[in-house]
A and B are shown apart, each in its own frame.
Chain A
């Protein structure tokens, strides 16, 4: 499965230019097609990354207490600070814990819903698909505002629960955020998995069915293995999303005092940048981007190996 669905695409893409005359025209066309994206990618992706690295290697020095501040090359001074910054690492630990719990729950639910949508057991599939996907249309900030009201003991329609258990307390607020994220993204992940289920030709099941396999057996033995690539894709995006958590906790801060200004790594970046200590904030950003990149890369590689085994 892993390679089967991409290789035909690549094969189609690789057509040999037959005439030299059209070859030049094609080269011009390629240049024209790629240039706009390349320019924008350079300006707003590549250069900022380089710039962040450069900034993170600088430090501010003053001559005497009242001297004018001067930016000088500081080597890994900022990174030393990053590694000594317990607040930052606590925030990293927090999102890792968040990811370890929330991502499997979210993807598990998404897979379950996708399988149910794909099964003959349900009526009104269109409705469910839409109802479950609707929260994806709600931006993180607004979802957090909504749930913030729903969590607060005085406003909530679930007053019975929220007046007993304060979900915005220091112990629970991380899971209150996890609920908001899950609410928004389950439907989206469900759709990705569902559309890859739809792409499986039915004939594959027919034989199993004739042999008397149950729906659960078909789901477990045939469908799930075939949609593993889709699950991996959703997994990578979820990992990236988790490490980047910002909008939801930042918004919920006005509902809960338990969310500190360095609750997640990105909040730490924002807080440090507002000080303003751009050099340290840049170093945070670089570390965070690298960690994200490495984690999702490792996840991809690890799952790929499992798939091919």
Chain B
């Protein structure tokens, strides 16, 4: 699979050349053109989010009655009253949904990352029988669409009477073949074999070496794997849709989906859906901002020489 070369964040050593001197020959024309393209698309990408932010500061009537992309005089108090209603509506079920999402995605991705890292690390740093076979199985797992698994998972979980439980969404989310694939590439690139040999000579056990030395070297990569898996679980819709009936178990996406499909019967839900959508994307945007240096730059500078 040649795509191996294109792991989302490059692991190859590279000299960043951001500010390398480049001739001042670029004409004003091409500079303006480039800025113009990027400017127009910035509007495309940010306007919907801006609209969401502005709309969440309005009452139901104001959303249709006032300028859609700008605030009203009472925006600030309206926003807080909307937030208050969001978290109290239907016994505060929205807070529950946020918590559920945090469990499914946060805890799930954390455990999933550790599990994937261990497996990928073993595939990269040890020679053993069946290594290639396991890796190939994992690779084909990457190509199996997660949604194709939702229905059979539902049937299996209903055999053991575990549908409509937290486990039904949590457990399948732990498996990330793509995480293993990335972990293998990263481990191969960032954990030098000589270091492991040295640790062995020092009498450090393999497991201990992994948790104390190797995970540290792989840390930036692990953050990336965590983020990808977090987003994958947070976005997963089919599995909770098919597994869960009890709305106190819903992740926030499924909850908002349910509210949204009731708007025609209960119009006041429209405001709550809009505010809820805003509140639910904020943690992710915050996480991306906070972890920016991990996912954005070539993690590269691995410790291999």
Given contacts A1-B5, A244-B145, contact A134 B49 (CB under 8 A): yes
Given A33, A48, A138, which contacts B156 in the complex, CB threshold below 8 Å?
Answer: A48
A94 at the interface (CB under 8 A from B): no
B175 at the interface (CB under 8 A from A): yes
Which residues A17-59 have CB closer than 8 A to chain B?
A: 17-18, 22, 25-30, 32-34, 36-38, 40-41, 43-45, 47-49, 51-52, 55
B51 & A146 in contact (Cβ 8 Å cutoff) = yes
How many A residues touch B, CB cutoff 8 Å?
127
Which residues B6-27 have CB closer than 8 A to chain A?
A: 6, 8-12, 14-18, 20, 22-23, 26
Given A13, A51, A236, A243, which contacts B155 in the complex, CB threshold below 8 Å?
Answer: A51
A48 & B153 in contact (Cβ 8 Å cutoff) = yes
Q: For the complex, give the distance between the alpha carbons of A268 and B273 in Å.
A: 26
A289 & B277 in contact (Cβ 8 Å cutoff) = no
Q: For the complex, give the distance between the alpha carbons of A260 and B235 in Å.
A: 23
Report chain B residues within 8 Å CB of A246.
Answer: 147, 237-238
Report chain A residues within 8 Å CB of B284.
Answer: 137-138
Stretch at the interface among B61-69, B74-82, B85-93: B61-69
Given A5, A17, A135, which contacts B4 in the complex, CB threshold below 8 Å?
Answer: A5
Given contacts A2-B5, A51-B155, contact A146 B52 (CB under 8 A): yes
Per-position contact with B for A175-217: 1 when CB-CB < 8 Å, else 0? 0000000010011000110011011111000000100000100
Which residues A235-278 have CB closer than 8 A to chain B?
A: 236, 240, 243-244, 246-247, 250-251, 253-254, 266, 269-270, 273, 278
A251 & B15 in contact (Cβ 8 Å cutoff) = no
B296 & A44 in contact (Cβ 8 Å cutoff) = no
Report chain A residues within 8 Å CB of B253.
Answer: 139-142, 247
Q: For the complex, give the distance between the alpha carbons of A243 and B260 in Å.
A: 25
Q: For the complex, give the distance between the alpha carbons of A57 and B15 in Å.
A: 56
B145 & A288 in contact (Cβ 8 Å cutoff) = yes
B49 & A138 in contact (Cβ 8 Å cutoff) = yes
Per-position contact with B for A101-124: 1 when CB-CB < 8 Å, else 0? 000000001001100100111110
Q: For the complex, give the distance between the alpha carbons of A10 and B187 in Å.
A: 10
B152 & A131 in contact (Cβ 8 Å cutoff) = no
Report chain B residues within 8 Å CB of A183.
Answer: 44-45, 48
Report chain A residues within 8 Å CB of B14.
Answer: 198-201
Cβ-closest chain A residue relative to B30: A121
Give the bracket for the number of chain B residues in contact with chain A: 35 or more
A37 & B180 in contact (Cβ 8 Å cutoff) = yes
Given contacts A122-B35, A192-B6, A233-B3, contact A215 B26 (CB under 8 A): yes
B73 at the interface (CB under 8 A from A): no
Q: For the complex, give the distance between the alpha carbons of A114 and B137 in Å.
A: 32
B174 at the interface (CB under 8 A from A): yes
Stretch at the interface among A60-68, A82-90, A165-173, A292-300: A292-300
B273 & A47 in contact (Cβ 8 Å cutoff) = no
Given contacts A131-B46, A134-B49, A293-B144, contact A202 B15 (CB under 8 A): yes
Report chain B residues within 8 Å CB of A1.
Answer: 5
B121 & A141 in contact (Cβ 8 Å cutoff) = no
Cβ-closest chain A residue relative to B187: A13
Given contacts A132-B45, A229-B3, A304-B2, contact A26 B206 (CB under 8 A): yes
Report chain B residues within 8 Å CB of A26.
Answer: 126, 206
Given B4, B123, B138, B206, which contacts A6 in the complex, CB threshold below 8 Å?
Answer: B4
Report chain B residues within 8 Å CB of A288.
Answer: 145, 148
B213 at the interface (CB under 8 A from A): no
A70 at the interface (CB under 8 A from B): no
B45 & A131 in contact (Cβ 8 Å cutoff) = yes
A293 & B140 in contact (Cβ 8 Å cutoff) = yes
Report chain B residues within 8 Å CB of A231.
Answer: 6
B157 smallest CB distance to A (angstroms): 10
- The residues of A with any CB-CB pair to B shorter than 8 Å are 1-6, 8-10, 12-18, 22, 25-30, 32-34, 36-38, 40-41, 43-45, 47-49, 51-52, 55, 109, 112-113, 116, 119-123, 125, 128-143, 145-150, 154-157, 159, 183, 186-187, 191-192, 195-196, 198-202, 209, 215, 227, 229-234, 236, 240, 243-244, 246-247, 250-251, 253-254, 266, 269-270, 273, 278, 281-282, 285-286, 288-289, 292-293, 296-297, 300, 303-304, 307
Q: What 6 A-B pairs are tightest by C-beta distance, nearest first?
A: A29-B206, A157-B68, A9-B188, A230-B6, A33-B122, A199-B10
